[in-house]
Amino acid sequence: MESVTGTRERIVNAGAELLRRNGYTGTGVKQIVEAANAPFGSLYHFFPGGKEQLGEEVIRTSGMMYLALFEIFFADEPDLIHGIEACFASAAETLKATDYADACPIATVALEVASTNEKLRIATADVFTAWIETGAEKLGKYGLGPESARRLTIALVNSLEGAFVLSRSLRNTEALDVAGASSVAFARTLLAS
């Protein structure tokens, strides 16, 4: 009932924002504690494993927060197509509102560590696995078989992640608009099969 934001929490939050925008190797630990308004020593007090331990926690927590966002969109949505369209429209809005900075919280790090840091690679894999499994469970409510629901979920993540790459680079939301349309087309195909 006190301390709205502890030092440890501020470090994780600042780390999440910096890793999302600048990547893992592109972000320094000193940069993180400064942004968190935390003393440097606190970083190694709360994270004895150093940058890697902080990185892993950032990946897992922000990955789960992003999943919660997805679940909200489909919580009370009776129509699958509307839910998909709302997801991509919301992603486009957020991206534009943050000057094309806030896309996927872990994609940049995921690509950076895929071939270089096995512990962090596994953290990103666990997040993506949770997205796919939880998403498939939710989308299974719309009259799709288990395998179709899983494949549709993967297709949604594919299109979203890829559109984030194009949209951030090109600084426009055309790719996200197309991603919504192509995802809807795949959903209709699966619903009709």
Site residues (vs a second copy, CB under 8 A): 21-26, 99-101, 107-108, 110-112, 114-116, 121, 124-125, 128-129, 151, 154-155, 157-166, 168-171, 174-175, 178-179, 181-183, 185-186, 188-189
Choose from DNA, a second copy, none: what does 23 bind? Cβ within 5-8 Å by kind.
a second copy
Q: And the tokens for 173?
A: 């939301």
The pair of structure tokens assigned to 82 is 């509307």
Q: Which residues contact 3 (CB under 8 A, 6 or more apart)?
A: none
Burial of 168 (0-12, 13-18, 19+ CB in 10 A): buried
Binding mask 30-49 for DNA (x = CB under 7 A): xx------xxxxx-xx--x-
CB of 8 or CB of 60, closer to DNA: 8
Rank residues 26 and 145 by Cβ distance to DNA and give the closer one. Answer: 26
State which residue, 52 or 137, has the beta carbon closest to DNA: 52
Contacting residues for 124 by C-beta, under 8 A, at least 6 apart: 59, 63, 106, 109, 110, 113, 114
φ and ψ of 16, to 5 deg: -65, -45
CB nearer to a second copy: pick between 14 and 175? 175
Q: List contacts with DNA (CB under 7 A).
A: 7-8, 27-31, 38-42, 44-45, 48, 50-52
